[in-house]
Amino acid sequence: MKTKNALFILFVLLSSVMIPPPASAVTPRILGPEMKIINNNIIVETSIADTSDLEQSIKSGVGKEIVFTTELIRVWRFWPDEFVVSKKISRVIKYDNLRDQYSLSSFDGTTRTGKNFTDFISLKDRIFTVAAVNLANVRELDPSHYYIRVVVESRSMEQLPLIGFLMHLVPEVEMSLAKESPPFEVGPIHK
């Protein structure tokens, strides 16, 4: 009798881990990427829209890491497109229930910044928007057609207390979005 109860509990735990959560009505999407060439530098801006599920999760106290990866890709006619350079910006947000404040840290590969916020509205743009990413200098690029790819990933900072062999069932990346810009030309292209 006890083994049947233990098997039933194990079955319920495994099925709750394996069954995906219901799909939400609104899926997050990437706005942009918007590209400008300023002083021969390719400057990229992008953001995420329709983030209500992520917002609810953060407000409930689940720590999140949002990673924006901006890539410059060179277009080739008869070969696969060529990766040129990328920049990665990571944002980690946590809610402290005792202090009733949000803690945001941002890392762009060289500089780490941190700030605390008391309300989510003032924090929202800083989490879901990346502005003025200096991707590359056009003088260092070969004349060709290029495009920009933005990949946004969300990870939970909370570790579930699962038994060792169940850890591979829980995905590390909760959300992954990608979007490409229209091709643009750098320098005079000889055909």
Regions in the chain scoring below 50 on pLDDT: 23-24, 163-164
Across the strands, what pairs with 80?
Answer: none
* Whole-number pLDDT of residue 20: 54
Q: How far is CA 20 from CA 16, 51, 174, 182, in A?
A: 8, 19, 11, 34
pLDDT at 189: 67
The rounded distance, in Å, linking the Cα atoms of 24 and 4 is 35
- Other residues' Cβ atoms within 10 Å of the Cβ of residue 145: 16
Neighbours of 160 (CB within 10 A): 10
CB atoms within 10 A of CB 21: 6
Which pLDDT tens digit goes with each residue over 135-174?
Answer: 999 999 999 999 999 999 998 877 555 544 555 555 567 8
The pLDDT assigned to 99 comes to 85
**Residues present in the chain in total:** 191
Q: How far is CA 29 from the centre of its chain?
A: 11
DSSP letters, 88-130, are: EEEEEEEEETTTTEEEEEEE-SS-EEEEEESSHHHHHHHHHEE
What is the structure's pLDDT at 85?
A: 96
pLDDT the model gives residue 24: 46
